[in-house]
Structure 1
Amino acid sequence: MSDAILSPAQTARALPFSALAQEIAALLQDPTVAVPPRIVQPLDGGGSLFVMPAADARVAITKLISFIPGNAQRGLPTIQGDIVVFDVQTGQRVALLDGPTVTARRTAAVSLLAAQHLATRRDGPMLIVGAGVQGRAHLEAFREGLGVQEVWVSSRSSASADALVAHAQALGMRARRVDDPNAALADCPLVVSTTPAQQVVLTALPRSDAFVAAVGAFTPRMVEWSADVCRHLAQTGTLVVDTRDADHEAGDLLQADIDVSALPTLADVVRQTQAWQDASRPEGGPVFFKSCGWGGWDLAAARCLRHTQQG
């Protein structure tokens, strides 16, 4: 890779969802990957500063982003920042990626990879709860990687929901707005929740054949799904977390008093480890995939960029 400062559009073009999901799967099986715990610095006013380093045998990255929930009311992005990519052998900076774009695309690609392994019904309709940046990224990822053709969108902002519906229709999908996401759960075998996670939004049970990607809550204090629903899913379905970092970050599950440390991770699923085999329920039931984020996903994005540029 040559030294490059990528705009948001250039960053997006370098990270196709399907290729990024494949890179994430490869990263989970690479023994050279090292990802220390991320630093989360609280900021005055309720925001946070995240510092997330990661490296493998060839590439090292540091992600530096701010998360300011109140920016939605200011007309500003809630996530801002950059990802610096270095060559491990020379120490040279080889790229600077747009942080919010990488965050959106790698998070959706993680959900896509989980769905590719865990979803039993891929035909939809797909319910997206939360019509912001992550809602849009997940819509595009599941269309590209799973072939989803029908999407229902729910948001506390009707304008945001209508905008995402229009975007889906422009992509050739069937799409409509739904005002009650809990009622819609009965009709949707694919569910993605990407709300601001400041309060419980989802209180109804998913279908018995549902795959749920719960993305919005990524700190212990954040929550989208009610504790009763999470406890019910723990008894009747299968819970999977993205990484072991979720042990202390998965707000939905922690607030339901679920032992997150006992749950299998996406790496267990990809590697088909004993932990995953023990967690699988032969009788089926819904799958609840809890995603909290990890610096390794950003490293996968840097690896994907390298392959894109070399190809």
Structure 2
Amino acid sequence: MSFAPSTLVAGTLDAAATAQRLPWSALADEIAKLLHDSTVSVPARSVLPLAQGGSLFLMPATDRSVAMTKLITFTPANAGTGRPSIQGDVVVFDIATGARQLVLDGPTVTARRTAAVSLLAARHLAPAPQGPLLIVGAGVQGLAHAEAFVLGLGVQEVWISSRSAASAETLATQVRGLGAQVRVVADADAALTHCPLVAVCTTASSLVLHATPRADAFITAVGAFTPAMAELAPALCQHVAEHGSIVVDTADASHEAGDLLQAGLDVAALPVLRDVVCGPWKPRAPSGPVLFKSCGWAGWDLAAARLALRQGAAQPPAT
């Protein structure tokens, strides 16, 4: 039996084309719109454990006109190998016809929607949105958050801390290319004194922040998404809970937010991003640091799919 050579399916976008359809501010705006959309349905994601500590994620979501599923693998063992830790696709369908409309690059969608959720949260919650911004972790999410905060929030100064000096310097070069001033630092805890914006973007294999944050700090932590994973020390989380405010991305964080669960906090009682964006919600403390804990949700991927479809429809046809 012979098979024709494989070809790229029409409507399949590579990483660069996917990113082009998901500009930062527009993606944050689309996520906010999705939170107001009562037709959105997001069932619990399915997670299948794989050998050697990996996982296969199946994450569907729909609204009145679009159905999508993100199918990705998460392979922690790929860290430091040059192979991506997250691989896969986002497949988008038209509900009316059942036709497949797009196949988006899964890692690109994951990186951009995660950082755009942090951007949206910072718009509403950051006491000092001008920065400087401290990024802890110099991988894919580190770069995505730098781009989102520089291009979407107007941050002009970025501090970078990473266990890998080479990775930190690589990210520093990329961030300078965005027009921001950059400083690479060895001690992330010491940098908390100087940076009111903090994005913690590690693989969550060990704690990376322990010190008490500034009273005007906004911390977004995105690396931990299981009860066993954590980036933030329990004492840091407990300090923010006592002196400031903690917001989680969705109610799923009640069984996924390892940072908060390991700190002994009642995650189910915390406000979610929808409360902040759609209101009414007031911070528990009138001042004090804010921690935004993001674990991921297929709704964020649906927002990216909706925006990618609209951006594609707005582009002139190829000649």
SS in structure 1 opposite 2:211?
A: coil
Aligned residues: 306
| Match of residue 82 from structure 2 | 75
| Match of residue 281 from structure 1 | 285
| Match of residue 71 from structure 2 | 64
Determine which of 233, 242, 257 is the counterpart of 2:249.
242
| Match of residue 317 from structure 2 | none
- Give how far 1:3 is off: 5.2
Measure the CA separation in 2 of the matches of 1:8 and 1:202: 31
SS in structure 2 opposite 1:156?
A: coil
| Match of residue 222 from structure 1 | 229
- Give how far 1:305 is off: 0.8
Determine which of 127, 136, 143 is the counterpart of 1:129.
136
2:204 alignment partner AA: A
| Match of residue 4 from structure 1 | 11
- Give how far 1:124 is off: 1.2
Structure 2: stretches of 5+ with no match in the other structure: 1-8, 315-319
- Pairing 1:253-272 to 2, within 5 Å after superposition: 253-272=260-279
Measure the CA separation in 2 of the matches of 1:205 and 1:214: 15
Q: Which of the two has higher C-alpha Rg?
A: 2
- Give how far 1:310 is off: 2.4
Measure the CA separation in 1 of the matches of 2:257 and 2:114: 15
| Match of residue 304 from structure 2 | 301
- Compute the RMSD of aligned alpha carbons: 1.1
- Give how far 1:232 is off: 1.2
Determine which of 171, 174, 181 is the counterpart of 2:188.
181
- Give how far 1:308 is off: 0.8
Q: Is the 8 A contact 1:3 1:93 kept in 2?
A: no
Q: Does 1:292 align with 2:295?
A: yes
SS in structure 2 opposite 1:285?
A: coil
- Give how far 1:75 is off: 2.2
Q: Is the 8 A contact 1:126 1:148 kept in 2?
A: yes
TM-score for both structures, normalised by structure 1: 0.97
| Match of residue 169 from structure 1 | 176
2:245 alignment partner AA: T
CA deviation map 1:251-308 (0-9, x unaligned)? 00001110000000000000113xx33x4322x1000000000000000001111221
Structure 1: stretches of 5+ with no match in the other structure: none
TM-score for both structures, normalised by structure 2: 0.94
- Give how far 1:171 is off: 1.6
Q: Does 1:193 align with 2:196?
A: no
Measure the CA separation in 1 of the matches of 2:225 and 2:215: 25
Q: Is the 8 A contact 2:244 2:290 kept in 1?
A: yes
SS in structure 1 opposite 2:104?
A: strand
Q: Does 1:110 align with 2:113?
A: no
Q: Is the 8 A contact 1:150 1:175 kept in 2?
A: yes
Displaced runs of 4 or more, over 2 A: none
Measure the CA separation in 1 of the matches of 2:89 and 2:255: 25
SS in structure 1 opposite 2:237?
A: helix
1:289 alignment partner AA: F
1:130 alignment partner AA: G
Measure the CA separation in 2 of the matches of 1:115 and 1:280: 17
